[in-house]
């Protein structure tokens, strides 16, 4: 029998659900999230804003061994959706004249001795070529590991504190992936550098700047920049990780962990309501001047990545273009989709049992595509971090 270990580091929480739509008026959405659960996931919470109004629902369970459904606006780790928030702060500082988008990063962060050709834009678009501190995965199958971020080693050290500078120095000690600006490759290091850039320019922490520029103006009371804080605010669904120890399969509750191992690559916490408010305001022009929003949504030709967002074609039956960024971190997946005007959004969270093999990645990709098609009509969800299920590159 597989051993399940619940976290000793989390306080117990009240899992009362907030009032939500029961799915009877949008049965196709309720069915879609129930299919995600049926494919092997623990729970889903979904929020959709479109021409029919707002729909909110959940399916599955909040934690193993219990029957309660996930809270419909519970907190969850948003993984790489953190990058969209961080890119927005950088662009807001560009708007304030404190950062130049095409300035050399070394001018702001000389202590790392970086290649002068690397610009702020390259960090936000993943074209710097800098090594990904969570590991590089090459097309020929080669893997160059970074910090421990999977298996028992990660589980045993999940409350360890990493400093952003430590992650950057590790990355810069490894070979670059390509010369700056010559290719595209997803790297969490880019966004840790973006964090350090924000802090150097403003003299404030990222959390303080996030409050000043995004969270406070939009009233995002459910969104947290945790730094090293391991807890998630209540209510929340639980996340798990499965690994092998001396030939025995073990599953551990990893809801609480020190997210400094991923830092600004994916450490933030939010809710479906806050993600909706954020992406709708961002695309609606409430956070950035029109020229900078246009720069943000200008896709790289190789992968369709702008500055902290993916830009996707909604398909022949869809609404044209979809702006998105999904995220995954150790048992949580977060979804955030919007039309370019912010008028239609889909935000969601999935909690599940993660593992190093990403055993649920393929089925999640299929379920995600079905969900996006249901809301945006013909949308395809493929992107570099669409699954995000390992939480290692995301």
Under a CB-based contact definition with an 8 Å cutoff, are residues 154 and 148 in contact?
yes
Neighbours of 123 (CB within 10 A): 25
CB atoms < 10 A from the CB of 16, how many?
A: 9
* Active centre residues (catalytic): 80
Question: Is the alpha carbon torsion for 113, 119, 121, 126 positive or negative?
Answer: negative
């Amino acid at each position: 029998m597989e051993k399940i270990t619940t976290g000793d580091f989390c306080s117990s929480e009240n899992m009362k659900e907030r009032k939500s739509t029961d799915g009877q008026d949008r049965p196709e959405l309720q069915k879609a999230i129930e299919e995600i659960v049926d494919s092997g996931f623990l729970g889903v919470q979904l929020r959709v804003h479109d021409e029919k109004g707002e729909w909110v629902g959940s399916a599955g369970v909040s934690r193993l061994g219990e029957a309660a459904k996930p809270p419909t606006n519970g907190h969850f780790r948003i993984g790489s959706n953190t990058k969209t928030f961080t890119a927005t702060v950088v662009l807001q500082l560009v708007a304030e004249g404190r950062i130049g988008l095409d300035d050399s990063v070394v001018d702001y962060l000389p202590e790392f001795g970086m290649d002068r050709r690397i610009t702020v834009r390259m960090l936000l678009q993943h074209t710097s070529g800098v090594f990904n501190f969570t590991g590089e995965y090459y097309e020929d199958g080669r893997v160059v590991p970074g910090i421990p971020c999977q298996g028992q080693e990660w589980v045993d050290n999940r409350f360890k504190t990493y400093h952003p500078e430590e992650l950057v120095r590790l990355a810069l000690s490894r070979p670059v992936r390509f010369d700056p600006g010559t290719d595209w490759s997803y790297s969490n290091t880019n966004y840790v550098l973006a964090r350090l850039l924000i802090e150097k320019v403003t003299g404030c922490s990222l959390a303080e700047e996030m409050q000043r520029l995004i969270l406070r103006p939009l009233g995002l009371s459910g969104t947290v920049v945790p730094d090293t804080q391991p807890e998630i605010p209540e209510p929340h669904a639980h996340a798990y990780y499965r690994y092998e120890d001396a030939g025995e399969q073990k599953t551990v509750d990893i809801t609480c962990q020190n997210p400094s191992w991923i830092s600004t690559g994916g450490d933030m916490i939010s809710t479906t309501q806050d993600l909706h408010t954020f992406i709708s305001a961002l695309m609606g022009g409430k956070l950035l001047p029109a020229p900078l929003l246009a720069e943000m949504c200008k896709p790289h030709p190789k992968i369709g990545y702008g500055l902290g967002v993916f830009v996707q074609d909604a398909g022949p039956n869809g609404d044209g273009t979809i702006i998105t960024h999904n995220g995954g971190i150790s048992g949580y997946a977060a979804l955030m989709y919007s039309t370019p005007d912010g008028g239609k959004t889909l935000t969601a969270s999935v909690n599940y049992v993660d593992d190093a093999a990403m055993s649920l990645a393929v089925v999640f990709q299929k379920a995600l595509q079905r969900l996006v098609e249901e809301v945006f009509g013909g949308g395809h969800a493929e992107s570099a971090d669409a699954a995000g299920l390992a939480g290692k590159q995301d």
